[in-house]
Amino acid sequence: MDTVSQILDAIFNIATMSTTGAIIRIALLVFGGIAFFFIKNWINKKLAEAAHKKTEEGRNKDQAGVEPENRDLDDAAKKAEDDIEKAIKEREGKKE
Amino acid sequence: MINYFYFLFLFLLTACGTPPIHTDPSEPTIDANYLSAEFTACGQVFNGIGICEIEKGKDLSSLNIKVQGYFDGAITMAASCAVDRRLPSKVRYQKSARYTVPLSGDATDTCIFTVLVSPEYPDEKNQPVEISSLKGHLYIKVVERGWKTFNKHLKIKEGTNASETIAIKADGREAEVQLKDASCGVDYKATHQIVNGKFSIRVKDFMRVVPLKTCPVSGVFFIDGRPTRMTIFIDGYSRTFITLAIPTVSVSGNNLTIVAENSVAAVGVGSSMVVSNTEKFTIDPTKSYLIRALTVRGRNIVGVFSKGRVTWIQ
């Protein structure tokens, strides 16, 4: 922690600097901060665009899959019920 | 030390903006085949999977199917029992509304209602988060008057280790059970002894391997020659999928606070939904509410709050 403090003091201790040095450093700090802010936002924007594209692709794919999946499941359910109704009829036939 | 304020300035400069939508490291529920769309039907609340019975000839609208939306978004639907009955394939909803499904017409044959909820989170376009949809299936079982029935829906991890047991109340000495579902390889026939007014069927007895798919198992059991028709609707989901932890809910006066795990992106009570994993809501503690927690990957948990208690539906 001490080492970090020393480094930060060396960079930012404006009190020990000349006026020009202080102005330059403050200007660098402000412009550096603004540049960092814009770069960070740009990266975030690109990441958000990529994520949104994937979200939209996923939504479209999943929405397109609803109807076929429903049809398959519906067919399976009807077939299973038919098989059971046949089994019930068979058993009732045997009983008679 | 005063110079550290410059860092604070930089930090504040970069920390501005809307609160982030929490990400979820889980695989999307839709890929894991974990059904999680919330809907109500035939007077029950379902989380992804459910069964409703309807007597032959009755109007399907009596099922009163309502699908829960989250924020704004789209609901995609399909149901073979609604062919030519103008069920829209896709609708848009707003403000976490519950959409009443306009399913109508006489119930003639058993059918499946499938729904896909595609939520659009506030400001999602500006956040590096991929949002997944939530899917659900409702088994609409058409029955004849006087039939005895038994229905059960389950979510089970795929594979050979299914430990679930289905207990069925019955009077008699033994039950001859038959179960069938060609789509999931189920063809089971066995006699079960009835002990203390019930008998049990282990899932692994009729489904040696639970597949990664939804299985509409149909069956019957005979006791003294009398049939009881069965439906066991199984959601076989990925073995690597981890279900959402139950959130902590506390009530103090008119305030209900939900604290969910960090991967939860939104919590809600009734039609109120917020982007956060923890939130305080104002309620009337004498009334019932539906509580929910949701992740961007579609993991969802629904709770029914009534008389100070919450019953969770995973």
* Side-by-side strand order, sheet with B98-100: B44-47, B38-41, B66-68, B98-100
Which of A47-61, B38-52, B292-306 comes out lowest in average pLDDT? A47-61
Kind and range of the H or E element at B264? none
How far apart are alpha carbons B250 and B66 in whole angstroms? 27
Could you tell me the CA-to-CA distances from B243 to A35, B100, B118, B295 in Å, in that order? 42, 28, 20, 11
Whether residue A30 contacts residue A36, with contact meaning beta carbons closer than 8 Å, is answered with no
Kind and range of the H or E element at B9? helix B4-15
Which of B131, B215, B295 is the best mutation test for A, with the most CBs of A within 10 A?
B131
Q: Is the pLDDT of residue B36 over 70?
A: yes
Q: How much is the mean pLDDT over chain B?
A: 91
In this prediction, residue A2 carries a pLDDT of 66
Q: Is the pLDDT of residue B81 over 60?
A: yes
How far apart are alpha carbons B169 and B198 in whole angstroms? 4
CB atoms B130 and A58 under 8 Å:
yes
Residues 19-58 of A with CB under 8 A from B: 29, 33-34, 36-37, 40, 44-45, 47-48, 50-52, 54-55, 58
Give residue B219's Cα distance to chain centre: 23
Q: What share of chain A has pLDDT > 90, as a percent?
A: 48
Q: Is the pLDDT of residue B77 over 60?
A: yes
Whether residue B232 contacts residue B200, with contact meaning beta carbons closer than 8 Å, is answered with no
Q: For residue A91, what is the nearest residue in chain B, using CA coordinates?
A: B225
Which of A31-45, B76-90, B254-268 comes out lowest in average pLDDT? B76-90
Q: Is A89 on the interface with B (CB under 8 A)?
A: no
**Could you give the ipTM of this predicted complex?**
0.89
Q: How much is the mean pLDDT over chain A?
A: 85
Q: Is the pLDDT of residue B183 over 60?
A: yes
How far apart are alpha carbons B273 and B266 in whole angstroms? 7
In this prediction, residue A19 carries a pLDDT of 77
Tens of pLDDT, residue by residue over B149-168, are 999 999 999 998 889 999 99
Residue whose structure tokens are 């597949």: B211
Provide the 10 A C-beta neighbour count for residue B144: 9
List residues bridging with B258 in a β-sheet: B249, B279
Which of A9-23, B19-33, B192-206, B255-269 comes out lowest in average pLDDT? A9-23
Mean pLDDT (whole number) for B113-128:
94
List residues bridging with B272 in a β-sheet: B269
Quick one: pLDDT band at residue B14, thresholds 50, 70, 90? very low
Residue whose structure tokens are 């199917």: B65
Q: Is B303 on the interface with A (CB under 8 A)?
A: no
Identify which of A12-16, B77-81, B247-251 has the greatest average pLDDT.
Answer: B247-251
Q: Is the pLDDT of residue B88 over 90?
A: no
> Looking at the partner chain, which of A50, A62, A91 has a beta carbon nearest the beta carbon of B30?
A62
Tens of pLDDT, residue by residue over B217-252, are 999 999 999 999 999 999 999 999 999 999 999 999
Whether residue B199 contacts residue B168, with contact meaning beta carbons closer than 8 Å, is answered with yes
Count A/B contacts: CB-CB distance under 8 Å: 144
Helix (H, G, I), strand (E, B) or coil at A1: coil
Whether residue B50 contacts residue B65, with contact meaning beta carbons closer than 8 Å, is answered with no
In this prediction, residue B1 carries a pLDDT of 47
